[in-house]
């Protein structure tokens, strides 16, 4: 594997940072539900020969107002499940925008954490699970510090600037085909309230 040598001589230490709204949007476009455990296993599980330091999920919450309480409760229940399954979760409260939408942009938090955690945890590899081209400068900064940067996304959602600044792109499309098909009950409803804008 390219990049710095692993600390123990055998396995590269990996830090995975996930833009939750970006990856969920990508998998839903494929008509699938997201299998978080399988995603983690694919990126940094035992079979990869890597040591997972941490997998951090950045998620926007619906606004803390009565009109959004039901959606907020559902999201918090899901985030509790992530935490209880070993994911580190970082949230940001959203704010209402146009009718039926909210905005909870976690990009700045994710970028700041990527640099700070990389300094503190000294990973050999940082995997950015997003296709958002806004993270291209972050990828460049991490590479300047000698850290290998891999981007996990699907081609149609991968910004060209991010693609060209990463050491490697991991195409998630084949993995998504192994996830459960969404049924009518668990598919995203046409309700506009379900979407968070980033």
What is the residue extent of each domain of the chain? 12-181
CA distance 146 to 167: 11
d(CA 53, CA 123): 8
pLDDT value at residue 17: 98
CA 124/CA 98 separation, integer angstroms = 42
CA–CA distance, 31 with 17 (Å, rounded to integer): 23
Neighbours of 135 (CB within 10 A): 26
Identify the pLDDT of residue 198: 44
Structure tokens at 93: 């409260």
Domain 12-181: CATH class, spelled out: alpha beta
Average pLDDT of the chain to the nearest whole number: 87
Buried-state track 16-55, b at ≥16 Cβ within 10 A, e below 16? bbbbbbbbbbbbeebebbbbbeebbebbbeeeeebbbbbb
Residues listed for the chain? 198
99-114, pLDDT tens digit by residue? 788 888 899 999 999 9
**DSSP β-bridge partners for residue 103:** 95, 197
Each residue's pLDDT tens digit in the chain (198 positions)?
Answer: 333 344 445 689 999 999 999 999 899 888 888 999 999 999 999 999 999 999 999 999 999 889 899 999 999 999 999 999 999 999 999 988 887 888 888 999 999 999 999 999 999 999 999 999 999 999 999 999 999 999 999 988 899 999 999 999 999 999 998 998 876 444 443 333 344 444
């Amino acid at each position: 594997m390219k990049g710095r040598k692993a600390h123990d001589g055998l396995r590269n230490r990996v830090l995975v940072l996930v833009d939750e709204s970006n990856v969920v949007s990508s998998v839903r476009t494929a008509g699938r539900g997201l299998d978080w455990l399988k995603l983690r296993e694919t990126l940094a599980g035992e079979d990869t020969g890597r040591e997972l330091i941490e997998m951090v999920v950045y998620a926007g919450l619906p606004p803390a107002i009565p009109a959004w309480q039901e959606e907020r409760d559902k999201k918090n229940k899901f985030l509790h499940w992530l935490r209880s399954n070993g994911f580190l979760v970082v949230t940001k409260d959203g704010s209402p925008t146009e009718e039926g939408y909210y905005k909870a942009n976690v990009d700045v938090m994710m970028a700041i954490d990527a640099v700070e955690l990389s300094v503190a945890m000294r990973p050999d590899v940082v995997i950015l699970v997003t296709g958002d081209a806004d993270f291209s400068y972050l990828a460049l900064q991490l590479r300047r510090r000698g850290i290998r940067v891999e981007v996990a996304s699907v081609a149609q959602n991968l910004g060209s600037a991010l693609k060209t600044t990463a050491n490697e792109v991991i195409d998630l499309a084949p993995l998504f085909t192994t996830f459960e098909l969404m049924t009518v009950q668990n598919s995203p409803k046409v309700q506009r309230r379900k979407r968070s804008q980033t």
